[in-house]
Amino acid sequence: MTQTSDTVTWLTQEAYDQLKAELDHLSGPARVEIAKKIEAAREEGDLKENAGYHAAKEEQGKMEARVRQLTQLLETAQVGEAPADTGVVAPGMVVTIAFDGDEDDTMTFLLASREFATSDIETYSPQSPLGGGVLGKKVGQEGSYELPNGSTARVKVLEAKPYQA
């Protein structure tokens, strides 16, 4: 079955291994730990007014949602090398753009799945309007994307380099 680039998440082997390790932890030891918390809270008595029980059940719900998210992501992931330093915008690249050709009004971001959002640099998905507007553009080329108000913004790619963690 061939998938379109809209449904595929490109991951380096290192990123895939990191997400797989998180999934393995959440599916194994973390599940056992949360089950123990719920059982301990259940033994305290009346569940209607048991804050520990409700907090543990909420934590369990969040953990199970993350397990489902990771499972889906890893099932559709394509594992490959980090992008080459070709000056062409691709997932895994740190991109610097200028808005409306104004080289003083710039922004730098990582083009990647939100799974790789980091506090070091703002992250935009290739499926986001801005990400889609610059994806595949070469340094020096212009792209455009639709703003929430329906108007179109133009940007110029100033730099595209592979992300270095």
Structural domains of the chain, ranges and CATH numbers in brackets: 9-79 (1.10.287.180), 93-162 (3.10.50.30)
Q: How far apart are CA 37 and CA 28, in angstroms?
A: 15
Q: How far apart are CA 57 and CA 51, in angstroms?
A: 10
CA count, 13 A, side-chain hemisphere, 119: 0
pTM: 0.57
pLDDT of amino acid 4: 39
Mean pLDDT per 10-residue section of the chain, whose length is 165 residues = 47 79 93 91 81 90 91 80 78 88 83 70 87 93 92 93 76
CA-closest candidate to residue 81, choices 70, 69, 71, 91 = 91
Contact predicate 160/88, CB 8 Å: yes
121: DSSP letter: S
pLDDT of amino acid 117: 61
